[in-house]
Every structure is written in C-alpha cells, then in structure tokens.
Amino acid sequence: MTRIQKIGVMTSGGDSPGMNAAIRAVVRTAIFNGLDVYGIYRGYEGLIDGQVEQMFSHSVSNIIQRGGTILKTARSKRFVEYEGRLKAYQTLMEFKIDALVAIGGNGTFTGASIFDKEFNFPIVGLPGTIDNDLYGTDSTIGYDTAINTVVGAADKIRDTATSHDRLFFIEVMGRDAGFIALRSGIACGAEFILVPETTTYVDNLARLLRHDWRKNKTSGIVIVAEGDEMGGAFEVAKKMKEKVPELDTRVTILGHVQRGGSPSAFDRVLASSLGYQSVRGLLDGERGEMVGIIDNKVVYTPFDKAIKHTKDLNKEMLEMSRILAL
C-alpha cells in the first residue's frame, strides 16, 4: 500500500462527550507523524458536500474539555445510496486524502464498512457513542460521562422523592441496550432497573413494589431504559399506578441531557488513547476496523463484527442491584 500522507477525521451520528478529545488526539498524532490532516464537517453529509478543511495543532487547542464535537455531526440518508458514497469518494480524491478516521457508532461503522469494500479505501473507526453497545471495546467514548450525568440527576430527584414520599420513574437512553440504565441504576441505588435485555413482568414488578411499600419504604427510584419492552417511563408508571394505586408516582425523562456536558476524566483519557491508536493503526496497515480497549489492551475489531456481535449485559449485576436495594 502506498504510504499514507493525508488523513481525514470526522464525527458521525449521535454526539457523545469525548469526541473532541478524540479529534484532538487524531490531529496531533497525525501531525507528529508528518501527515496532513483534514477535518470533515457534519459526517458523511459533509463528506458528500465537500465540507473539508485542513487542521493544524492549534485547530484543536482548548477542546479536550468540551462536550459535543467541533466538527459537527449529522445522519446522512444520501450516504445510504451508492450515488452519495461515490460523491463522498470523489471528495476524498479531490483533497488527496489517503485514509479516514470515523468517530461514531453502529450507523457510522455500517457506512464505513460498505464504503471500504466498494472503494478499497482505508478507514479506522473510533467507538463514539454513549450507549456502550459496540462489540470490541470495554467502554465507548462518552459512556462514562453519560452515566455520571444520570447519577447526578437521579441523586437530586431522590431528594425530592424522599421529601414527598414519592416513587420516581426515570427514563434514560438505551433503545436497544441497557448499559446506561444498569450502571447508573446501581450507582444511584435504584430500587428497580428495567432494561431491554430482560423481560419486565408487570404483575411481578407491581407485587415487589407493593411489598416494598408495605414493608418499610416510602420513596424510591426506578430506572427505565427507553427500549424496555414494557414501554417508556410514562407507560411503566401508568401501569404501576393501575396495579398499585396507593403509590404517588412521578416521571422524569432525562433525554438528550445525557449526551452533553464536559467529558469525564475517564472519557478524555479513553478518547485520547483511541485517537492516538487510530493513526498508528492506519500507518501500520489496519483498515476496515474499529479500535477499542479490552482489559487495558488495544484491539482492532472488524466493522462487521463490532456492529453485528452483541455485547452481553451483566445479568448478575442486575440481580445484585435488586438485592442491594432491599
């Protein structure tokens, strides 16, 4: 393979805290290795439209602590079509970009995998998503920050729940995976945690809630992942109110607040490490892969495997959370 001289970097899909730290690491590692580096704005949409700008060391000064992404992000329907991908490839050729670092999640890597196969173009991905649902890394960029955001909010809500003898249902992100719900629920001492990976039995949950309230509890927190098959927090709260009418229930949906904010120290270090390794990987011939860290070791996982393989939720931790909430 011809030696890489110019690389592009972009963020795509949903934003996550730590993306800026990853961009910073990619840019400065590339420059250190004598490469020109170009920022691509608004993900695949910007690549199609030619929104490309050369970046320098000072371009990424004072961004490691910032949430969101300075390169903006978007979801691209045009990139789904071959004509859109062809235009994106033509943009890369116009700027003489030899390889690409794509920071994002499932959608980003699905597009990258197809693009690599069609145009034989080197791409390495960084797992930038708060959901932590990508196979091939212990933690994704933004996951730790999102958990801490949920815990901070839940702690405040518990103060009100305790003061008013109420049961709060807090809905967190997690359409297909319950990683945010599980970790944050344990950390804030939630009475119950509802996740997509397990079946929520209405009558059983109602029985447990009724038992808790008759026993010794006057307030509580139930963390509900948005993808729980019983429905979102409003639907769960409605069903519980019907089953246990004596409960004074309230609902809080945290929504996109979980995506924003200054990244935690963990996410800054993780993003910096992965950004650094992505450039090294490209120079060593890695392509069509996501770079991650498992057991403190850098690993490269093919895009198809990172997307299609399911990362298992720790069911023992879910059981532990219930025991500790007694």
Is the CB of residue 210 less than 8 Å from the CB of residue 247? Answer: no
The structural domains of the chain, ordered by start, are: 6-142+263-308 (3.40.50.450), 146-259 (3.40.50.460)
- Read off the pTM: 0.93
Would you state the structure tokens that stand for residue 158, as one six-digit string?
């518990």
Which residues belong to the active site? 131
Along the 326 residues of the chain, how does pLDDT read in single tens digits? 458 999 999 999 899 999 999 999 999 999 999 999 999 999 999 999 999 999 999 999 999 999 999 999 988 999 999 999 999 999 999 999 999 999 999 999 999 999 999 999 999 999 999 999 999 999 999 999 999 999 999 999 999 999 998 899 999 999 888 999 999 999 999 999 999 888 888 888 888 888 777 777 778 899 999 998 888 899 999 998 889 888 889 999 999 999 999 999 999 999 999 999 999 999 999 999 999 999 999 999 999 999 888 788 888 888 898 888 77
Mention every residue, 6+ apart, whose C-beta is less than 8 A from residue 192. Answer: 185, 205, 208, 209, 220, 222, 223, 322, 325
Q: How far apart are the first and last CA of the chain?
A: 60
